[in-house]
Amino acid sequence: MDSEKLTDKILEIVPEAQQEENKQFLTFLIPPDKLKTLTTHLKEEKELDFDYLFCLTGVDWGTELGVVYHLTSTSLNHSVELKVKTDNRETPEFDTVTDLWMTADFFEREVWDLFGIRFTGHPDLRRILLEEDWVGYPMRKDYTDEVNIVEL
């Protein structure tokens, strides 16, 4: 499916999606409450067949926290990048996609551990890199570590 048809299909599923400029990937900003609907369609519809989540990354944009998803169809050879954002820095939360792509399991655990973004419905959301008693989320821009002072 070419980029134009894929764009039309995504906007048909989620009319509120905003296409963003990106030279490498077809990129959309998705309202968080539409993430599960869109990703389910992308995975399950035969004409889309996004069978591979190859990257899921947490991002701190300063005032907003978010997650970026990179999906591809290995059979149809098309890719898409999806972004979700929230300005809720106290309890950021998005739906899990582990039920669609098992590769999301460790990715979501890493994002939870380092950014504090919770994934609703994740089967085993627990720390993966940091110790259980770690305080704070070291990948956030507002994080400070008074013990191991490292400044960029």
Confidence tier at 1 by pLDDT (50, 70, 90): confident
Distance CA 56, CA 106 (A): 9
pLDDT tens digit string along 22-35?
Answer: 989 999 999 999 99
Average pLDDT of span 79-104: 98
b/e burial code for range 81-101 (CB count within 10 A of at least 16 → b): bbbbbeeebeebebbbbbebb
**Residue 118 host element (H or E):** strand 118-120
Average per-residue pLDDT for the chain: 95
The reported pLDDT for the residue numbered 147 is 73
Domains and CATH numbers, the chain: 3-120 (3.30.460.80)
Structure tokens at 86: 């929230």
The reported pLDDT for the residue numbered 8 is 97
Share of the chain above pLDDT 90, in %: 90
The reported pLDDT for the residue numbered 151 is 57
Average pLDDT of span 84-106: 98
Structure tokens at 121: 């419905």
The reported pLDDT for the residue numbered 82 is 98
pLDDT tens digit string along 50-61?
Answer: 999 999 999 999
pLDDT tens digit string along 120-137?
Answer: 999 999 999 999 998 899
